[in-house]
Structure 1
Amino acid sequence: MKSIAVLAPKGCPLTSVSGPLEMLMLANARSERTRRLELALVSADTAAIACQGGFQLQGHIGLDDQTQYDCVVIGAIGPPNKESLSFDPATVQWLIRQHQGGARLVSICTGAFLLAATGLLDGRRATTHWAMASVFTQLYPLVLLDPAQMVTMDQTLWCSGGASSYQDITLLLIRDYYGDAVAEQVAKLVLIDLDRTSQLKYMHFIPARQHQDEIIHQVQNRLEEDWRSASVVSLAEGVHLSERQFKRRFKQATGLSPLEYLQAVRIEHAKRALAHSQTGIEQVALSVGYEDVRFFRKLFKRQVGVSPSEFRDKSRF
């Protein structure tokens, strides 16, 4: 019988562990006996598993158990902190041994940080929660991170994006182990779509402010007030730098070119206008600094993953 273990890291959000287990149990209940999987909850904790918010889990197996699993699902670790992030070495080594023994490793949300700590993701595609992408790339620069993706699958290393994306990646596992019919049944039972592929429409632009360049901080402050009419040329002139010097210095500080940064700020304002008003697309484009509506639509879809009208429809509840 094939087996899947769900690994609960210390301090994990409860749903990143209980959610995949519940979906897999639903799949087991709707599958032929010969296709059912053996499910296990595992953890390095010897007593009850301490989860985020003070909740606890019990009934788990310790990592000293010698079972070789076909798949290990790694729960999220909560919001990681670059300065204090560390993992239990025994857990990291256990994951490496499981992978060497043939297990598929599947991370949920920020569980990708624990998976990356094994070194197995170096040179491989991965995703994690979009808001944690900057911290992730600083810690694991060798990983080919694509935070726009809801799910990445690089051979036997799978990753999912935000907290609720455990549903998407667990459905893919169910489809793989149980077949399409069972996956569709489970999707209907838990009321989720089978076609979510991108995190783009959920992402918000978070300006990089951790740098120490005071001149670029001044430019960013100006952009918060003057994002409609600002241009790269006027921004460079405002801090007495040549356009070439300004572009290089800005990108070094923020990770984006001035134009990319300005476009991201404008699109964020456009998203708010679309979500909270009935203003036409043409008027929204003009209000955020784009007279060319066709260009605005193209830029919006590239950054958000859906058209302005689709975004408006999905943003209304």
Structure 2
Amino acid sequence: MKQVTFLIADGVLKPSSLFNAIEIFEKANEFAEQQTGRPYYDIRLAGTNLEQPLVNGIFTLRVQPLKTAEKADLIILPSFAEQDDFAIRKSHEALDWVITQYQAGAEVASLCTGTFLLAATGLLEGKPCATHWKAAAYFRRLFPELKLHTNKIVTDQEGVYTAGGAISSLNLALHIIEKYNGRETALYCARVLQIDIDRNSQSPFMIFEGLKDHKDEVIRSIQDFIEEHVGNRLTVEQLASQSAMDRINFTRRFKKATQLSPADYVQRIKVESAKRLFESTGMQISEVMYEVGYGDVKAFRETFKKIAGMTPGDYRNKFNKII
């Protein structure tokens, strides 16, 4: 029997990813019992505090003391409600336990913002990782050296897994179950719980919010200018001139503030504007293309698919509210 420990570290937990992931492993046990007469997973909750608050304080979990927890085959770190440096400040005992268990052969997975806690162990160094797209900017500030992929649903390397968001946590659990038990078991869990097992990108669901949480007022004014002139053809030279800087200094300063090059930022603003038009109007693809400042259909389609994770037509068909 494979021992799975959900690590309940310090901080306020978000219950959705925790309970949903537990349910998937329970369904895998249900399938195993049907096939072999016995469950495959021994599921436990362990932590540094015997009572763990959940978001809004409605529920409290009672967990096994971490000091008495047996060796785990798989450790899962659920997501937290807070976005601060909790992973560094509050959870030293839990972090040390994870590192010790990994060195002894355990695999480790994080769900949604649980990636902050996993990152603080050092186990993500040199590995790809994911977290919820809305937490990505803050994650990069805390862990700028790590390889964060905001578009990914699941990452998997050297026994370390991460999931991109609360619902993505379901896909990570299915990924692990398929790896341990095979496709048939994973499909059973997906069908019973009505999960899209082959969802592989956060991109269609991301909302680009402008990356304005910085102190550079000049760059923020340029960001506002880009949004106000989204229908225009905007070049880096034009934006540099608008900010009274040369291209090299402007590009360096812009990227330092936003983590994106000016050209990438402009593309994301234009695609975000196009997404809103596809969602809320009956405009055709060519009309939306011109509205957000593109004159070449091929370039617009390629840029849109690169950023949104699907073609303009597919996005319109999936998210439009009025057609």
- Report the TM-score when normalising by structure 1: 0.94
Does structure 2 conserve the Cα–Cα contact (< 8 Å) formed by 1:42 and 1:60? yes
Aligned mates of 2:254, 2:86 — CA distance in 1 = 25
1:64 aligned counterpart, secondary structure:
helix
Aligned to 1:11: 12
Aligned mates of 1:117, 1:246 — CA distance in 2 = 33
Q: Does 1:110 align with 2:113?
A: yes
User: Percent of counterpart pairs with the same letter?
Assistant: 32
Q: Does 1:36 align with 2:36?
A: no
Does structure 2 conserve the Cα–Cα contact (< 8 Å) formed by 1:45 and 1:62? yes
Which ranges in structure 1 are unaligned for 5 or more consecutive residues?
A: none
Which of 301, 310, 315 in structure 1 is aligned with 2:305?
301
Q: Does 1:167 align with 2:170?
A: yes
Aligned to 1:132: 135
Q: Which moved more, 1:150-159 or 1:215-224?
A: 215-224
Q: 1:83 to 1:100 in 2, by over 3 A?
A: closer
1:19-60: CA deviations, max 9, x gaps? 1111111110111235621111122212x3211121334452
Does structure 2 conserve the Cα–Cα contact (< 8 Å) formed by 1:35 and 1:178? no
Which of 212, 217, 238 in structure 2 is aligned with 1:214?
217
1:99-151: CA deviations, max 9, x gaps? 11211101000001111111111121111111111211221223211111100
1:42 aligned counterpart, secondary structure:
strand
Aligned to 1:97: 100
Aligned mates of 2:242, 2:77 — CA distance in 1 = 49
Shift of 1:82: 4.6
1:53-92: CA deviations, max 9, x gaps? 2133445211011400110111001241259962321111
Q: Does 1:205 align with 2:208?
A: yes
Instruction: Note the 1:172-191 alignment, pairs <5 A.
Output: 172-191=175-194
Aligned to 1:265: 269
Q: CA RMSD in A?
A: 1.9
Aligned to 1:251: 255
Does structure 1 conserve the Cα–Cα contact (< 8 Å) formed by 2:88 and 2:117? no
Output the amino acid matched with 2:17.
S
Does structure 1 conserve the Cα–Cα contact (< 8 Å) formed by 2:87 and 2:117? no
Output the amino acid matched with 2:241.
E
Output the amino acid matched with 2:13.
C
1:180-220: CA deviations, max 9, x gaps? 21211110111111111111111121222233322222212
Q: 1:278 to 1:157 in 2, by over 3 A?
A: same
Output the amino acid matched with 1:197.
N
Aligned mates of 1:158, 1:239 — CA distance in 2 = 42
Aligned mates of 1:258, 1:45 — CA distance in 2 = 46
Aligned mates of 1:228, 1:143 — CA distance in 2 = 35
Aligned mates of 1:245, 1:58 — CA distance in 2 = 52
Q: 1:260 to 1:198 in 2, by over 3 A?
A: same
Output the amino acid matched with 2:264.
E
Output the amino acid matched with 2:171.
D
Shift of 1:247: 2.4
Which segments of structure 1 move beyond 3 Å, counting only runs of 4 or more?
A: 82-85
2:84 aligned counterpart, secondary structure:
coil
Does structure 2 conserve the Cα–Cα contact (< 8 Å) formed by 1:41 and 1:61? yes
Q: Which moved more, 1:70-79 or 1:172-181?
A: 172-181
Aligned mates of 2:219, 2:19 — CA distance in 1 = 44
Does structure 2 conserve the Cα–Cα contact (< 8 Å) formed by 1:13 and 1:77? yes
Output the amino acid matched with 1:115.
L
Which of 195, 199, 203 in structure 2 is aligned with 1:196?
199
Instruction: Note the 1:22-101 alignment, pairs <5 A.
Output: 22-31=23-32, 32-34=36-38, 36-46=40-50, 48-82=51-85, 86-101=89-104
- Report the TM-score when normalising by structure 2: 0.92
